[in-house]
Amino acid sequence: MSLDRRLAVAIVAGLALSALAETLLVDHREHLFAGSTWLLFWTGFGFVGCVGIVVVSKWAGHAFLMRRDDPYTGERVEAEPGEGGDE
């Protein structure tokens, strides 16, 4: 999948806004767990979390979670695996 230009700009702008908000608003002195006192930790957490959730969910979906047939009716479900709308 290739990123179109507007999407790439939106991602960069979103990250920049998150980083600005975190710099201005978050108190990094409070230690919750390893790394949480680092500057821009939460911006990175959010971004890596987003990517991680998509990657892990897609992998699990294709590996064993998704079914071609409705488990209750036995009929074919509307979408093929991979047609979940976010590819």
Partner 1 sequence: MNSLPPVVIMLVGALLVALTPAGVVRKTIAVVAPTLVLAQLALALDAGDSLRFTWLSMELEPLRADKMSIVFGYVFAIAAILGGIYAWHLEDRLQQASALAYAGSSLGVVFAGDLLTLVLFWEVMALASAYLVWAGGFPGSRAAGVRYLYVHLVGGSALLAGVLWHLGAGGSLDFTLFEGSIAGWLILGGFAINAAVVPLHAWLSDAYPEAGVAGSVFLSAFTTKTAVYALARGFAGWEILIVLGVIMALYGVIFAVLENDIRRLLAYHIISQVGYMVAGVGIGTEIALNGAAAHAFAHVIYKGLLFMGAGAAIYATGRRTLTSLGGIGDRMRTVAALYMVGAFAISAFPLFSGFVSKSLVLYAAEKEHLYWAVALLYLASVGTFLHTGLKLPYFTWFGRRRDDIQVARTPRSMLVAMFLAAALCVGIGVYPAALYDLLPFPTPPTT
Report 21-40 residues binding partner 1 (CB under 8 A): 32-33
* The token pair that represents 37 in the structure block: 């006192």
Report the residue number, 39 or 60, with the smaller CB distance to partner 1.
Answer: 60
Is there a contact between 56 and 48 (Cβ–Cβ < 8 Å)?
no
Q: Rule CB under 8 A: is residue 44 a binding residue for partner 1?
A: no
Among 54, 63, 68, 76, binds partner 1 (CB under 8 A): 54
Q: Rule CB under 8 A: is residue 64 a binding residue for partner 1?
A: no
Transcribe 42-56 into DSSP letters. Answer: HHHHHHHHHHHHHHH
Q: Rule CB under 8 A: is residue 53 a binding residue for partner 1?
A: yes
Closest CA to 19 of 45, 37, 1: 45
